Amino acid sequence: MGMTMSQKILAAHAGLPEVKAGQLIEAKLDLVLGNDVTTPVAINVFEENGATSVFDNTKIAMIMDHVTPNKDIKAATLVKQSRDFAEKYNITNYRDVGEMGIEHALLPEMGLVGPGCLCIGADSHTCTYGALGAFSTGVGSTDMCAGMISGKAWFKVPAAVKFNLIGKPQGFVAGKDVILHIIGKIGVDGALYKSMEFTGEGVKYLNIDDRLCIANMAIEAGAKNGIFPVDDITREYCENRYQGTPVEFEADEDAVYDEEYTIDLSEIRPTVAFPHLPENTKTVDEIGETEVKIDQVVIGSCTNGRISDLRAAANVLKGKKLSKGVRCIVIPGTQKIWRQAMHEGLFDIFIDAGAVVSTPTCGPCLGGHMGILAAGEKAISTTNRNFVGRMGHVDSEVYLASPAVAAASAVTGYITNPEKI
């Protein structure tokens, strides 16, 4: 019986000729990731167990991004604990203020993840790297600790769901609209502990940023991971960037999938997820022009903080002003993206419109800082989750959308179709 792409990567790292869905395996890791929220918990477990060394100081990444620059004493203390550990064990991929970025934007940019690698991270959106043909998945801090010590992790081999992408996206439709459309179709548990494998001729119309966005939100459908095949777009991105040895895996023709869906990209419309689940989707055509009045717009995050996202927002905002009373926060994903956006003149567009530009950080995405919502306030955001209280008060609301839709909404003060701006 054939294997899926994800199963082949797991088999290779477990040293097995084949694996099957539901099988328990131990596999060697290429990278272990943590951030300023989850790394301290892993360090505590590390020390409680009397560990005195890490398996490979070059294969551990500690990215201080969730509430950095530090917003309070507690945040500063957690980062100091991580910083001290990184210095003690010479963790070469420790990144702090000034050289950090939002972890899932930064690691691909640094070349720490690439085709065929196996990565775990103590952050649920570690599934992002499947865009590059890797198997990457989120784990708890205890598993991060075990990975740091042993360089291995236990896995239950996931079954898979196949998404055959056909057609070409039209107009303002981007990767965010594609994944919101899919989650709206299958639900937040539609791929529970399964691999979401994307394939088909439509993949070639999705750039790397689109794919990173789509893989990033696989977890919002309950998936263990999301993964794309390696093609010329992947190879071009990883060339002279990926620090490992790329290994390309392809699903067997007789690979078994629990479900298969055909998604026509040409039929997808700009899509918005209403509170309080990513599956509560409506297209911009289904939303009345004055149906949802907004107070805040957030453009950034590990989902949509890349340069193409900022360009899409700037394209809509150029020459326009924010609606009175609307706050707009733009958060580039990494220092490199920040600098590129600045030199391209995107900052001028944002600031002239009335927005503010932040240093790279997760910030308001998880209710960390720089944009917390009060009771009754509504935000449209390019982030990935809109659970109750996600961005502040439990009586606030978050609507998920693409950068183009978010920017258009900032101009009108209501959730708006960017085609009408």
pLDDT digit string, tens, across residues 115-144: 999 999 999 999 999 999 999 999 999 999
Q: CB pairs under 8 A, 24+ apart, for 181-184?
A: 181/263, 181/268, 181/271, 181/281, 182/214, 182/221, 182/261, 182/263, 183/217, 183/220, 183/221, 183/273, 183/278, 183/279, 183/281, 184/271, 184/273, 184/279, 184/280, 184/281
What is the per-residue pLDDT for 368? 87
Smallest Cα–Cα separation from 106: which of 122, 138, 124, 128?
A: 128
The first and second tokens of residue 327, run together, are 């706050």
Cβ(115)–Cβ(248) under 8 Å? yes
CB burial readout 338-363, b (16+ within 10 A) else e: bebbeeeebbebbeebbbebbbbbbb
Q: Which CATH architecture has domain 272-420?
A: 2-Layer Sandwich (3.30)
What is the per-residue pLDDT for 288? 84
What is the separation of C-alpha 209 from the centre of its chain, rounded to a whole number of angstroms?
A: 10
Q: What is the largest CA-CA distance in the chain?
A: 62
Q: Which residues contact 118 (CB under 8 A, 6 or more apart)?
A: 9, 10, 13, 27, 28, 29, 30, 31, 134, 135, 136
What is the per-residue pLDDT for 318? 97
In what order do the strands lie in the sheet containing 135-138?
93-95, 60-63, 31-35, 118-121, 135-138
Give CA–CA dist 401/143, Å, rounded. 32
Q: Which residues pair with 282 in a beta bridge?
A: 272
Class of 5-264 in CATH: alpha beta
Q: Count Cβ atoms within 10 A of the Cβ of residue 15 and give its class: 0-12 exposed, 13-18 middle, 19 or more buried.
A: exposed
Please name the residue that has the structure tokens 């750039």. Answer: 207
Q: CB-side exposure of 37: number of CA atoms within 13 Å? A: 18
Give CA–CA dist 282/269, Å, rounded. 9
What is the per-residue pLDDT for 268? 98
What is the per-residue pLDDT for 289? 81
Q: Which residues pair with 159 in a beta bridge?
A: 194
Give CA–CA dist 263/266, Å, rounded. 9
Q: Is 354 left (phi over 0), alpha (psi -120 to 50) or beta?
A: left
Write the CA distances from 177 to 333, 380, 404, integer angstroms: 19, 14, 10
What is the per-residue pLDDT for 117? 97
CATH 3.30.499.10 maps onto the chain at: 5-264, 272-420
Q: What is the pLDDT of residues 90-115, one digit of tens each?
A: 999 999 999 989 999 999 999 999 99
**Phi and psi torsions of 39, nearest 5°:** -60, -45
**Phi and psi torsions of 131, nearest 5°:** -60, -25
Residues of the chain with pLDDT under 50: none
The first and second tokens of residue 354, run together, are 């009335």
Q: Which residues contact 239 (CB under 8 A, 6 or more apart)?
A: none
Cα torsion 189, 191, 196, 199: sign: negative
